[in-house]
Amino acid sequence: MQLQEQLLTRNFPANPSILKDENRETQLFANLNLDLIKDESWRGKCVRLQQLMTAKESAICVPNLEARRRITFFANSLFMKMPTAPQVRRMMSFSVLTPYFKEEVLFSKEDLHVKNEDGISILFYLRKTYIDEWKNFLERIKFVPKDEESLESRMDEISLWASYRGQTLTRTVRGMMYYRRALEIQYIHDKTDIAKLDRQRTTSSYQEGGSNIVDMAMAITDIKFTYVVSCQVYGKQKASKDPREKNQYLNILNLMIMYPSLRIAYIDEIEAPNRDGMIEKTYYSVLVKGVGEKYNEEIYRIKLPGKPTHIGEGKPENQNHALIFTRGEAIQVIDVNQDNYLEEAFKMRNLLEEFESKKYGNRKPTILGLREHLFTGSVSSLSRFMSNQENSFFTIGQRVLANPLKVRFHYGHPDIFDRIFHITRGGISKASKTINLSHDIFSGFNSTMREGNITHHEYMQVGKGRDVRMNEISSFEAKVANGNGEQTLSRDVYRLGQRFDFYRMLSFYFTTVGFYFSSMVIILTVYVFLYGRLYLVLSGLEMSILLDPRILENINSLENAMALESVFQLGLLLLLPILMEIGLEKGFRKALGEFVIMQLQLAPIFFTFQLGTKTHYYGRTILHGCAQYRPTGRGFVVCHAKFADNYRMYSRSHFVKGFELLILLVVYIAYGSSYDSSNLYLFVTFTIWFLVGSWLFAPFIFNPSCFEWHKTVDDWTDWRNWMGNRGGIGMSVEQSWEAWWIGEQDHLRKTSIRGLLFEIILSLRFLIYQYGIVYHLNIAHGSKSILVYAFSWLVMLTVLVVLKILSIGRQKFGTDMQCMFHIIKGLLFLGFLFVMVVLFVVYHLTISDVFASILGFVPTGWWILLIGQACSPLVKKTMLWDSIMELGRAYDNIMGLILFLPIGFLSWFPFISEFQTRFLFNQAFSRGLQISSILRGQKDIGEFDRPVSFP
């Protein structure tokens, strides 16, 4: 009963003064108003609530898991320490600000029915994913669909239902408008005896001094709450003739009409003649509201000195220009992919009291941090990994950062700012081009440096959607890594480090840029270790060390130590924060089960792969800068990504590095196995082999339907067409390999001389292979002369000359004189055979020498390619640029073929695809979702044949 009493009285006390007894210390549940429990109808509701939260029902018997989760969190939050809620009249006024660019506003009829390449429509996917909610929706609208065509008559309602389950602006606006609804209810409660509310069914019965209490509640709410959506392209959408842009404008207009208190801020461009008669553009910040049923009315118009997005980054400038239209003493920043709940909105009064009633240390808070709940973590294993990772970061991680470390900043949304404090100290977003790519955390830096105080509170949460496909997750990680690279180079981090004491400075370092720097150091350590072992094994020093009798005595003890270390190097410790958070909230038995399931779903492979993403983009930003905002997209979870798409995205960040480490391991085992008979090699390199496998094949392991034969055939055809398309000018990266290859070098064209020098120096490591291996060839006969190395370069230059001849022959004879081109290729092939025969017969070349030469010359060719790219302005002035491009094409062809061979082989076995589907969507299978039909794009034919009965 304590839970029931606390639920009814903690946040909604009938007499608030009862809870403000400051003269004596009381227990948590003392002085509670129990009069409400005496009402029979309310007593029945409390009993039902207790059963929902305490009965141990199976997942199948629970009517709706999401409803149970929300009720449970709300009830538990009432036990947490929070300020007492004031009356609505006395509460702090606040605003909500949402930046919007071109995200989806509302799923239209066409959007819901259009099918992707797998034959899956949005409506079909949502019906299969939210089966129980779809049935509840049909019951609410009292509609029995007989077939697909019958749904067309209710598409307006279905469109809203679908939009409320996607990451759309409509969902966000509905969620934030719960604040208004909650304040209206709370105001009525302040003025009315709550025990009588259940008996009074009509709003006309609420009278206060002759005036309608509902009208008064709406008026007070308008004073206390403002919601502004900063849609910078609203004016362009209104004037656009593009049907899709026009629909977006109409959908936003309909939102303003649906919610009369919603305001839209946008940037208006007007072309007018100046004093000299020249036409120039003038920019205005404009605020509008909905009027009637079809129109919007302008409220304010403020002239700007120029176009904001020309000065800073788009998203923060979108927030900054609309900040003047917000009202109140506090402001909450909400992104488009967020949601809110009515029961959580009831606690907003309590939360805002944190600004006035509490001090954390010597200062009052200036930013109130909130926890987030990811509503996208319920279907696939990837979304489960991200959900668990984000939940641990937004709960136990933020909790520790805020107290005791005192180094919490602004990590995205939905933090609440002290509006008066921040608008007088630079605003809520720093927006300088490139350097403030992660504008969110810079506002936290700004608040801390100006003697602000940032806290974290877990008794209130806001919903959030995350990217759930592999490519979308990697784009998000790349964006964050780029932002952290720019933070490392910024003045703000330097200034904070100068002002913090020693311990707070260390905490600040390891919880911001230090995490990414440490990740980069880990990968660099792997490179240094393997190249050091390569030098030892090729120079012969390792053999002399391991054959030393004094070393042989200690190898067994070293093996035992390395065996234990290799187990913990599997990435298990990275899951420790996740286990702790699940253990604290749901129990450690549940945490242990979650840990086992994540291992079975190959979570270590996923997190190891993302480690490579962080390292690549963070290191590139440190060396060359040029960080850029990366849109991640919010598509289907089960959508299949083509092989060419995966190769374009991960070629330079993972595949190239994975092949480099693979060659290092192969060379090490090839030249060290003759004298190393212990298990030391296995223990030393086991985790590196795991790293290589993760970097090369994780995008395909977590790609739905990757091992279905017809998908494999389509991917191969698409890959070959992309590689064979030789048109680069005017083509997108999805159409032509040349366009993609040139685009991958943008960071080199924009970098500094120092960045180019670093790139050239780092590429010199690829010459170690050739220099060391050629002296171990049998054809060298043990000679240590420099002529052996010179002869190897002669062979390399001959190969490049042959490639140049082929390139010139293709350009001159490939189209008009194909016969001549085939003759040239035939002559080159005969010459190659003649040289190989001479080497085998006269100079005693062996098969092992051929494979060893490949291991030595392939890295050298990649070094030539890197040097050509770094010095592209000089190389383009010569005749060698086409040869460099053809060399790059050859390497990408070879790497793509090696990656595709295992995929094609596994696609022959149907059970591989079934197994992949099972571990990718295990949680969905446990909920009874028809993932197989979603993947195949098949409709449940019997769905509309079953009669639906409504009570």
Q: Give residue-wise pLDDT tens across range 232-246.
A: 888 888 888 888 888
Residue 727, pLDDT score: 66
Give pLDDT tens digits for 434-476.
Answer: 788 888 889 999 999 998 899 999 999 999 888 778 888 888 8
573-615: pLDDT as tens digits: 667 778 888 888 888 888 888 888 888 888 888 988 999 999 9
* Residue 566: band (very low, low, confident or very high) from pLDDT cuts 50, 70, 90: low
The helix/strand/coil state of 83 is coil
Q: What is the reported pLDDT for 940? A: 43
- The mean pLDDT of the chain is 80
The average pLDDT across 798-804 equals 78
Q: Which of 328-332, 408-412, 503-507, 833-837 has the lowest mean pLDDT?
A: 833-837
Residue 951, pLDDT > 70, answer no
Q: How would residue 59 be classed by pLDDT, with cut points 50, 70 and 90?
A: very low
User: How many angstroms separate the CA atoms of 809 and 540, rounded?
Assistant: 45
C-alpha separations of 935 from 118, 386, 640, 875 in Å: 7, 22, 9, 48
- Higher-confidence position of 721 and 379: 721
Residue 560 clears pLDDT 90, i.e. is over it: no
d(CA 727, CA 729): 6
Contact at 8 Å (CB) between 486 and 435? yes
Average pLDDT over residues 142-149: 76
**What confidence score (pLDDT) does residue 161 get?**
92
- For residue 489, the cross-strand partners are none
Give the residue-averaged pLDDT of 539-557: 69
Is the model's pLDDT at 650 over the cut of 90?
A: yes
- pLDDT given for residue 173 in this prediction: 94
Give the pLDDT score at 28.
46
Q: What is the pLDDT of residue 2?
A: 40
Judge whether residue 183 has pLDDT over 90: yes
At a CB cut-off of 8 Å and minimum separation 6, what does 817 contact?
A: none
620-630 mean pLDDT: 80
Confidence of residue 377 (pLDDT cuts 50, 70, 90): confident
CA–CA gap between residue 437 and residue 500 (Å, rounded): 24
* Strand duo 262-273 + 225-231: pairing: parallel
- How many Å apart are CA 913 and CA 576, to the nearest integer? 31
Residue length of the chain: 951
Q: What distance in Å separates the CA atoms of residue 856 and residue 862, rounded to the nearest whole number?
A: 11
Give the pLDDT score at 53.
66
The maximal CA–CA distance of the chain, rounded, in angstroms, is 114
Q: Which of 496-510, 514-528, 620-634, 837-851 has the lowest mean pLDDT?
A: 620-634
Residue 366 DSSP code: S
Query: What pLDDT score was predicted for residue 923?
Result: 58
Residues 636-651, mean pLDDT to the nearest whole number: 84
Rounded to 5 degrees, φ, ψ at 190 are -60, -30
Query: Percent of the chain at pLDDT above 70?
Result: 81
First to last CA, the chain: 31
Q: Residue 331: what pLDDT?
A: 95
Does 942 have pLDDT greater than 80?
Answer: no
DSSP 205: G
pLDDT at 226: 94
- Which single residue is written with the structure tokens 């059970």? 911
Confidence of residue 946 (pLDDT cuts 50, 70, 90): very low
Whether residue 925 has pLDDT greater than 60: no
Minimum mean pLDDT range among 62-76, 77-91, 159-173, 672-686: 672-686
Quote the pLDDT of residue 931.
Answer: 56
Whether pLDDT at 205 is above 80: no
Note the pLDDT of residue 592.
85
Alpha-carbon torsion angle 432, 434, 440, 446, nearest 10: -40
Q: Are 329 and 93 within 8 A, CB to CB?
A: yes
DSSP H/E element including 412? none
Residue-level pLDDT at 663: 93
Cis peptide upstream of residue 414 (ω within 30 degrees of 0): yes
pLDDT of the residue at 816: 61
633 band by pLDDT with thresholds 50, 70 and 90: low
Which tens digits make up the pLDDT trace of 94-121? Answer: 999 999 988 889 988 888 888 766 667 8
Q: What confidence score (pLDDT) does residue 273 get?
A: 77
Query: Residue 827 pLDDT more than 50?
Result: yes
| Tens digits of residue pLDDT in 579-589 | 888 888 888 88
Average of per-residue pLDDT across 619-633: 77
3-class DSSP string for 424-488: CCCCCCCCECCCCCCHHHHHHHHHHHCCCCEEEEEEEEEEECCCCCHHHHHHHHHHHHHHHHHHH
Contact partners, residue 895, CB within 8 Å, separation at least 6? 651, 655, 656, 659
Mean pLDDT, residues 26-41: 57
Return the closest-CA partner of residue 844 out of 783, 777, 891: 777
pLDDT for 684 beyond 90: no
Which neighbouring-strand residues pair with 288? 264, 298
Confidence bin at 947 (pLDDT 50/70/90): very low
Asked if residue 168 lies in contact with residue 99, where contact means CB atoms within 8 angstroms, the answer is no
Residue for token pair 């100290």: 425
| Choice among 363-367, 553-557, 593-597, 829-833 with the minimum mean pLDDT | 553-557
Q: What is the predicted pLDDT for the residue at 262?
A: 93
Lowest mean pLDDT among 47-51, 634-638, 670-674, 787-791: 634-638
What is the value of pTM for the model shown? 0.86
In this predicted structure, the answer to whether residue 210 has a pLDDT above a threshold of 80 is no
- The H or E element containing residue 516 is helix 513-539
Q: How confident is the model at residue 375 (pLDDT cuts 50, 70, 90)?
A: confident
Output the pLDDT for position 98.
93
pLDDT in tens, 150-168: 788 888 889 999 999 888 9
What is the average per-residue pLDDT within 793-810?
Answer: 78
Sequence-distant (≥ 6) Cβ neighbours of residue 579 within 8 angstroms: 591, 592, 594, 595
Question: In this structure, are residues 133 and 947 in contact, taking their beta carbons and an 8 Å threshold?
Answer: no
How far apart CA 241 and CA 245 sit, in angstroms, is 7
DSSP three-state, residue 950: coil
Report the DSSP pairing between strands 454-464 and 367-374.
Answer: parallel
| R_g of the chain computed on alpha carbons | 32
From 233-237, 516-520, 689-693, 783-787, the region with the lowest mean pLDDT? 783-787
Asked if the model's pLDDT at residue 849 lies above 70, the reply is: yes
Q: Mean pLDDT, to the nearest integer, of 678-698?
A: 82
> How much is the pLDDT for 156?
86
Angle between helix 910-920 and 381-392 (nearest 10): 30
